[in-house]
Structure 1
Amino acid sequence: MIFTAENILMVGSVLIFSGILISKTGYRFGIPTLLLFLLVGMGFGSDGLGLQFNSASDAQFIGMMALSIILFSGGMDTKYSDIKPVLTPGIVLSTAGVLLTTLLTGVFIFYISNWNQTNINLTLMCSLLLAATMSSTDSASVFNLLRSQRMNLKQNLRPMLELESGSNDPVAYMLTIVLIQVISSGSSPDFLLIIKDLLVQFFFGGVIGYAMGRFSVWLINRINLSNSSLYPILLLSLLFITFTITDQLKGNAYLAVYIMGVILGNTRLAFRKEISTFMNGLTWLFQIVIFITLGLLVNPHEMLDITAVGLLIGVFMILVARPLSVFLCLLPFRNITNKGRLFVSWVGLRGATPIIFATYPVLAEIDGSQQLFNIVFFITLLSLIIQGMSITRAAKFLHLDLPAPKEGNEFGVELPEEIDTQLNDLTLTAEMLEEKDTLAEMQLPKGTLVMLVKRGNEFLIPNGQMKLQPGDKLLLISENKNKSAD
């Protein structure tokens, strides 16, 4: 069956519907949700139910949109207060870590390509290109696993992992593009030119991302739209404008949208609730779409020829290249223990990003690019199965896990960001009510009021003479500390 204008809506809906139902069952067994979406695409593809999708350019376009939204959304969820203590090690991992992983893996691939037992024969530059496409941790997979499982980790490891995964994709992208240009030119690499290209990409990506982030905040806070639902759509248009302008100026568009997201996530923003809800839903949709699309793109029977070499490279990356890169990069940071470094090494997840990057050599018609694509896809599956299914157990085994932080309140009440207050809930016990059992008698902190009382499934409007009972939940509103201090 081939995709047409008449059936694409129906087929696409069935794929997404099937993926969501299957992921609900697989989640109970600890299977990463995004892995299941990838398997759904493979199951419906050419070697499964027969859906024919073989356009690397379409997959790359969908992947470009998906990755830009995922990185932007991840940036919006990144708080300065969380990443400040781990900013330096996170940046070192996302830059030097990617370069070390590329170098170590590329040399290993070049070494084994000369073995008679393997069926690949790659030059050193092609080996480095293959390694570069897989050198970054996948932002979609890392964000999804850490947040869907509500993982909380010691030593500030969670914000460091999220910072690394959000900021190292642009570095891997730059390496991939530069190496493709070198291979396509057929000349020996000019390292000065390579460094210049990398600096140009970093400069324009950083400057445009920051400028558009500030402009977006200014515009959203000042423009007066008739419908609040238009604000997230306006922001989405600004996101794609940022991506396109940066790409046209030869900057790193993925870095730009990530920085743009960080700016918006750490600045007072009107209609934040509506924007966050919209972006979270859109991120999930594009994660599902891109993993299913990539699953459809691959022909599983073609991976049989590269299974042995894929296992060799995958195991080397998981057990040697990633751990060695992490330990070397984190060596100066004494506050991160060896257990912490070992866990960071294990969260070297591959996912949609390496597969998307692997389509660039295919479209550039690099010799053996289809074989490179199949190897990347195989290693991604291997990583999601081995590492993705064991991250929670690894954190517990290394005694790095913490109780999940409480989010929101049990009343489901949220206040606009413009109101400089905090909402908390308090459950009353018998000891609290031994002498004082009315609101008027309770000594609440200055600047704190009781908004609602929840008794069982009933919500009560409080007054000073209300008789309180053990088990009652109070919704408290209070001034922010810095405001009350003034």
Structure 2
Amino acid sequence: MDTNSFIFLAGILLLISILASSFTVRFGLPLLLVFLGIGMLAGEDGLGRLGFDNPNLAFFVGNLALAVILLDGGMQTKASTFRVALWPSLSLATFGVILTAAAVGGFAAWLLDVKLIYGLLLGATVGSTDAAAVFSLLRNSGVKLNERVGGTLEIESGANDPMAILLVVMLTGVLQSSDSLSVWLFLGQMVQQFAIGGGLGLLGGKLLLLVLRRVPLIEGLYALLIISFGLAVFSGVNLIGGSGFLAVYLVGLTVGNGRIKHEESISQVMDGLAWLSQAGMFLLLGLLVTPSNLLTHGLQALAIATFLIFVARPLAVMLCLLPFGFRWSERFYISWVGLRGAVPIVLALYPVIAGLSNAALLFEITFTVVLISLLLQGSTVPVVARWLKVSVPPAPAPTTRFSLIENDAHHSLELYEFLVQTEGIRIPVSIVQNVPSVTVSTPQLVSLVREQRPIVVNAETVLKLGDRIWMLLHPDDVNDVAQIFSQQASSSFLLQNFFGEFAIRGDASLVDLAKAYGVPLEGLSTDDTASDLLQRKLGKHLVVGDRVRFGNIRLTIRQMHGDQIEIIGLKLQDKQV
């Protein structure tokens, strides 16, 4: 195939995939499944009849794409989620992968009638969740998970690749050399992978953050600088024996949570590159497989996928999260969103490249397991979240943000756009009359845009639905200002039903609440607050959406600042929650 033909076909496949993705949203199907399906349709058994049999190229593209996806995923992960999700995530990313691999391995060896080590290799291949699938589905599912569940899933998917890769590489090496697997060698390799990858990832992120702040570039080059630096760290760490996947994720995490110039434009470019990486990778992996071969062991693959989804993954999650105080509904949801995607398929190429005898069998079963996972689990992410009540109503937020000055946390200057979502409200007089200054101590109005035209604003101006407000703000004031323009959303049935009809401060007196709502005073101290009650009953690391019953009322955390409960929703209850 000549160069022009290759570029033409690649462009057509990407175009069809992107256009088809708009229709899948209506049916709730994951977009990644579309890219995979288009690749299969274009392959030798499909309509395109394209013959592609180059596992080395697919492996190279897969690793490159996964590095970009993890870099972007790290940039979108908020460091605040580590407060409640770090240790649970690390438990799932290490022990969870090992438990899942062992359980699936034993079952697969029995079912396929192969040596145990081949079963374990298959278990290790499908043992980790996929960052591309998890990041994509959680952020495009239309639901907002509570911070404990969402953070655990995101950090786990970004951190569990090293363990899965280590298991696959070591088991493949044992099968090639016929040596026995050394537990001490495995533990040493695991520590090395995590130590080098983690240390250099954080150090590289700090260095990149320094470069972004100090080196002036054309705006469009900042995202390319991040990509090139991230790929250099990824490959460099791999060369010296660390985990490049963990390192590149931590680079993204460090940069994404630091204050940098042109953050909005960088985020848009990074998202586009991550989507291109996902689309290209899944298209290529779809081309690599021969669909007719999947039917040969289709029933065994279905049985293994069923065992993985309904037995191995839930068992591993329940055991790994046992010490961390997760609710049962949260554990069930985390086990359900153990999505398999590109990572298992790329890992399944290790035995193929190594030339192992059962490599084709392992690859075909892995591919089928991924298809079932994306189809079954991926299409039910929002439905199961609502059913298990692990989602929270989204908080009002600005539609656009631009960083103008980034000196430090106390002297930053940022421009935000807010969409007015209700009729008849007025901008507070203190904001209208505030005189712009270099230092933002109070919110400052910049412009009101109505029907694409700027409007002169005074204390009598009544806002209309669809107006866009541009304001200079300190980042700490964003949530409060967003509430002003989102009163309709704040008073909606959804929020009232979830948080309650009233809002109280976290330091509200429990005794006063008890007297107001007829709750018995036994056991209450005059110093007890609503926040104390929540922490006493639920533990230390609380998140928005956590709730307790207090007599005939339900208290639900509505807003937090770090570990401090600021606002609590109050709802009258007639029955137990």
TM-score normalised by length of structure 2: 0.76
Name 2:192's counterpart in structure 1.
Answer: 200
Task: Find the counterpart in structure 2 of residue 11 from structure 1.
Answer: 9
Report deviation, 1:159. 1.4
- Map residues 412-451 of structure 1 onto 2, 5 A cutoff: 412=400, 414-416=402-404, 418=406, 419-421=412-414, 423=416, 425=418, 427=420, 429-430=423-424, 439-440=432-433, 447-451=442-446
Comparing 248-257 with 273-282, which one deviates more in the overlay? Answer: 273-282
**Deviation at residue 402 of structure 1 after TM alignment:** 2.1
Indicate whether 1:317 and 2:308 are aligned. yes
Pairing 1:57–2:29 present: no
Could you say which residue in structure 2 is the equivalent of 1:37?
Answer: 35
1:354-408 C-alpha deviation (Å, 9 max, x unpaired): 0011001100111110110000000100111111111111111112222234443
Greater than 6 Å deviation, 4+ residue runs: 435-438
Q: Distance in 2 between matches of 1:438 and 1:282?
A: 39
The equivalent of 2:208 in structure 1 is 216
1:476 and 2:468 equivalent? Answer: no
Is the contact between residue 272 and residue 417 of structure 1 (CA under 8 Å) also seen in structure 2? Answer: no
Residue number in structure 2 paired with 1:459 = 453
Match for residue 144 of structure 1 among 136, 141, 164: 136
From 221, 224, 235, give the equivalent of 2:226: 235
Once the two structures are TM-superposed, the CA of residue 424 in structure 1 deviates from its matched residue by 6.1
Find the aligned partners of 2:255 and 2:441 in 1 and give their Cα distance: 32
Structure 2 distance, partners of 1:349, 1:309, is: 19
Tell me which of 368, 376, 379 is aligned to 1:378. 368
Aligned residue pairs: how many? 466
Superposition deviation, residue 265 in structure 1? 1.4
Are the aligned partners of 1:438 and 1:466 in contact in 2 as well (CA < 8 Å)?
no
Q: Is the 8 A contact 2:402 2:414 kept in 1?
A: no
1:295 corresponds in structure 2 to: 286
Q: Considering only aligned residues, what root-mean-square deviation do their CA atoms show, in Å?
A: 2.5
CA distance, structure 2, for counterparts of residue 406 and residue 150 of structure 1: 15
The percentage of aligned residue pairs carrying the same residue is 34
Task: State the match for 2:166 in structure 1.
Answer: 174
Structure 1 residue 106 corresponds to structure 2 residue 105: yes
Task: Give me the whole-angstrom Cα distance separating, in 1, the residues matched to 2:417 and 2:220.
Answer: 28
Question: SS at 1:233's partner residue?
Answer: helix
Q: Any stretches of 5+ residues in structure 2 without a counterpart?
A: 407-411, 435-439, 479-577
What residue identity is the alignment partner of 1:475?
W
Give 2:349's match in structure 1, choosing from 325, 336, 359.
359
Residue 162 of structure 2 contacts residue 193 of structure 2 at CA under 8 Å; is this kept in 1? no
Cα shift at 1:448: 1.9
Does 2:335 correspond to 1:341? no
Aligned-residue offset at 1:345 = 0.8
**For residues 387 and 89 of structure 1, what CA distance do their matches in structure 2 show?**
21
Structure 2 Cα separation of the partners of residues 95 and 45 of structure 1: 36
TM-score, structure 1 as length reference: 0.90
Q: In the alignment, does 2:247 pair up with 1:248?
A: no
Structure 1 residues 297 and 470, CA gap change in structure 2 (3 angstroms): closer
Worse overlay, 290-299 or 271-280: 271-280
C-alpha distance in 1, partners of 2:147/2:476? 26
Distance 2:226 2:417 in 1: 30
Relative to 1, partners in 2 of residues 1:113 and 1:479: Cα closer, same or farther, differing over 3 Å?
A: closer
The alignment partner of 1:390 has SS state of: helix
Query: For the residues of structure 2 that align with 1:408 and 1:482, how far apart are their CA atoms?
Result: 11
Classify the secondary structure of the residue corresponding to 1:454. strand
Q: CA deviation at 1:96?
A: 0.9
1:368 pairs, out of 348, 354, 358, with: 358
